[in-house]
Chains A and B, each alone.
Chain A
Amino acid sequence: MFKIVEREEMAQGTVIMNEIEAPRIAAKAKPGQFVILKANETGERIPLTISDIDVDKGTITIIYMVVGKSTALFKTLQIGDAFQDVIGPLGKPTHIEKLGNVVCVGGGTGVAVLFPITRGFKNAGNRVISIIGARNKDLLILEEKMKSASTEFHVCTDDGSYGHKGFVTEVLKDVLENNKIDLVVAIGPVPMMKFVSKITKSYNVKTLVSLNPIMIDGTGMCGGCRVVVDGKTQFACVDGPEFDGHQVDFDGLINRLRAYTEDEKKSYNEHCRVFGNK
């Protein structure tokens, strides 16, 4: 069992932070890697990125958006409760090195995934320009942490309730116009990553994205997480989750993420009937 030792509700309860006791994983995990969690006997295996680790405490931190049945079930877990299974660290770590100028672009809960990578690049001696965005001010997460991990920091909200009004891509264009950038890391909703990749391609700047296809085992055994990169089939759980944004078939990914829309609804409604829609 993997006990929750800290818990926080963010973005008005739509995003949850859990710090979980998992000493073996904490000792090994690197930025960019993820875990698979299963709440209980009947639960589904859900991949979530390791957003932070505390080796001394032997804990890992996950931050997830409540979007369906399983994440709603996770939300019911309180401090002292436990996940039945946590498997990891999975996936290839981000290749962090000193490159010069690195831009980190994050949207929604993608910011949680982006944070350890941002910190990693800064600690490696890069000048890190971060651009994070959310639909509105209340949905923004990890602002302070991201700020402290960045050399230069921008915030955007779609509705202008905070920071720059508009999409992260607008600020990104500005940054690319005025700086010589060596690498862009973009993590967030698939359409955002697709858009960012399109822009950086026209500036010819290498771009890393982190993909989130549906997964089961996370060890390369089922092929469910397959994505097409550079015309070749790759398994995101072992070959990724990070890939060259200029090579990814985003439309294929968007399509495959819709595989269970009907079933997910059924499952979620059943959950809400039992637990109420909190």
Chain B
Amino acid sequence: MAEKSAVKEKIARQPMPEQPADVRRRNFEEVPTGYSEETAVLEAGRCLQCKKPACVTGCPVGVAIPDFIKCIAERDFKAAIQKIWEKNSLPAVCGRVCPQEIQCEGQCIVGKKDAPVAIGNLERFVADLARNSGDGEIPAKAAPTGRKVAVVGSGPSGLTVAGDLLLKGHGVTLFEAFHKTGGVLVYGIPEFRLPKVIVASEVEMLEKIGLKIECNMVVGSIVSIDELFAEGFDAVFIGVGAGLPRFLNIPGEDLIGIYSANEYLTRANLMKGYLFPEYDTPIIRGKNVVVFGAGNVAMDSARTAMRLGAERVRIVYRRSREEMPARAAEIHHAEEEGIEFHLLTAPGRFIGDENGRLVQLEGLKMELGEPDESGRRRPVPIKGSEFVMDCDLAIVSVGAGPNPLLTHSDPQISLNKWGYVVADPETGKTTKKGVWAGGDIVTGSATVILAMGAGRKAADSIHEYLTWGW
């Protein structure tokens, strides 16, 4: 026994194999290539199998982490995926995009002294193996109840609600405004971070268990929520995300060459602009690219611009490094790929040429002043620090708000002062009978796993309603 734990201490966290930075910065293939079976088993061996696993408390959906890791250590990969699926229906996605360092891995005991167990990498490994071997068994479905639920929006919250309710025997129809399902997973997060075949295979799986999908359906416009009830749906879930782009509201923002991150990433990912002219949607390819903001969306935009041939890509962020909200891995990858960070820097105005095209950005330097309401030290401009940099493509990635198209179409659904849907945090119930909501349209821009967690709670509550009443 003593010998065994001695061995454990010697094993270092297994690094994730990746495409070299100087190669991948010009292609759209996935950056990390995934653990081999041997590496996964080795990494699984680092888990101490804690009796009171701290890691689980850090996971918003409470995946049975030590249990699935134990299965990997024992090479029972089928059992491992079954364990994960009990709590998480999109592990191949979460393993890739969860901010593990502040969730599961952030709590891991091993991480107190050493690098934490690579829970995300292991989750991804098991999920990829199940998908590629094709023996992902179709989960058992309850007997049909004859009840029908409409799910609006096909992001992670909507997909989770749909999956859960199908398994409980209800009929589910998914309505999506775009021509493809997946929400941010397909239009926002780039191929090199989350290959689209993964999202497609998750959706296919749901179709196998009976999901009906109607794309090109802008609910609120082509059909109202009341009309869905009239068509025979017994309950409605709203998971329409937070898709309203914010701009900087500085002079020159209408010049050609300035995109919201939503537009830039949608052109690149959903419309496959990076394959233009094979695909018809054009996308501006900049030489000197500036991205505003420092969240995941900003990192994705910057790294996409690099892959589209930019000479320089700069991230301009008002605050300091500690405040950058992106996942640690994304910041690290961006730096490796040669993205420059201009911190404590604020945009001032955009400068165009005689054709109305963006050519330069005027900015100014900031310093940290007194703490603001959030406790973070507020950046204040340094007088006389104005400077000008060349810039022919700017991508504004300073957050998103709630899209009012659906929510404003039904006055019975109460919104908070920022326009997000008011929903019970435990059940997802809105102020309108028979209507639930979850994900970014309730919380504001958050994470995939939180949206899924909200979806799961709503599905439980909808099931209860369909069985017992409101």
Contact = CB atoms under 8 A, between A and B. Distances in A.
A223 B262 CA distance: 8
B356 A222 contact: no
Contact of A221 (B217, B262, B279): B262
B207 interface: no
Interface in B352-410: 355-356, 403-405
A44 B263 contact: no
Nearest to A91: B221
A264 B221 contact: no
A257 to B, nearest CB: 10
B32 interface: no
Given A44-B281, A87-B216, A264-B282, A252 B405 contact: no
Contact of A25 (B179, B222, B272): B222
Interface stretch (B13-21, B109-117, B128-136, B253-261): B253-261
Nearest to B400: A221
Contact of A223 (B217, B263, B271, B279): B263
A226 B179 CA distance: 22
B221 A90 contact: yes
A172 B277 CA distance: 43
A89 B266 contact: no
A70 interface: yes
Interface in A25-43: 25, 28, 38, 42-43
B178, B263, B403: most-surrounded residue (chain A CB, <10 A): B263
Contact of B218 (A90, A252, A260, A264): A90
A139 interface: no
A192 interface: no
A148 interface: no
Contacts of B255: 255
A217 interface: yes
B203 interface: no
Contact of A256 (B178, B243, B256, B276): B256
B223 to A, nearest CB: 7
A85 B179 contact: yes
Contacts of A267: 276-277, 280, 282
B284 A217 contact: no
A44 B271 CA distance: 7
B341 interface: no
Contacts of A233: 247, 249, 253-254
A226 B249 CA distance: 12
B179 A87 contact: yes
B272 A42 contact: yes
A222 B222 contact: no
Interface size on A, as a range, is 35 or more
Contacts of B271: 44-45, 216
B245 interface: yes
A37 B254 CA distance: 26
Interface in A73-114: 73, 84-90
B266 A217 contact: yes
A238 interface: yes
Contact of A258 (B247, B256, B282): B256
B356 A258 contact: yes
Interface in A11-65: 24-25, 28, 38, 42-45
Interface residues of B, number: 41
Nearest to A43: B280
A136 B271 CA distance: 38
A21 B320 CA distance: 55
Interface in B213-231: 215-218, 221-223
Contacts of A189: none
Contacts of B249: 233
B400 to A, nearest CB: 9
B222 A89 contact: yes
Contacts of B223: 24, 28
A217 B247 contact: no
Interface string B163-200: 00000000000000111000000000000000000000
Contacts of B405: 219-220, 238
Contacts of A266: 277
Nearest to B220: A219
A221 B270 CA distance: 13
A224 interface: yes
A220 B403 contact: yes
A220 B278 contact: no
B185 to A, nearest CB: 15
Nearest to A218: B218
B267 interface: yes
A228 B253 CA distance: 11
A222 B280 contact: no
Nearest to B218: A219
Contacts of B253: 233
B263 A216 contact: yes
A7 B404 CA distance: 36
B244 interface: yes
Nearest to B404: A220
A222 B301 CA distance: 14
B177, B221, B259, B284: most-surrounded residue (chain A CB, <10 A): B221
A122 interface: no
A10 B222 CA distance: 30
A38 B221 contact: no
A44 B244 contact: no
B48 to A, nearest CB: 45
Contact of B266 (A25, A84, A216, A256): A216
A28 B221 contact: yes
Contact of A42 (B179, B218, B278, B282): B278
A263 B260 contact: no
Nearest to B177: A219
Nearest to B396: A223
A270 interface: yes
The 4 closest A-B pairs by CB, nearest first: A263-B282, A222-B263, A255-B356, A44-B280
Interface of A: 24-25, 28, 38, 42-45, 69-70, 73, 84-90, 216-224, 226, 228, 233, 238, 252, 255-256, 258-260, 263-264, 266-267, 270
Given A28-B223, A220-B405, A259-B284, 16 more contacts: A24-B217, A38-B179, A43-B280, A70-B280, A85-B179, A85-B216, A86-B216, A216-B266, A220-B243, A222-B263, A222-B266, A223-B259, A228-B254, A233-B249, A238-B405, A264-B282
15 contacts: A28-B221, A38-B179, A89-B222, A219-B177, A219-B243, A220-B243, A221-B266, A222-B262, A223-B260, A233-B247, A256-B254, A263-B276, A267-B276, A267-B277, A270-B277
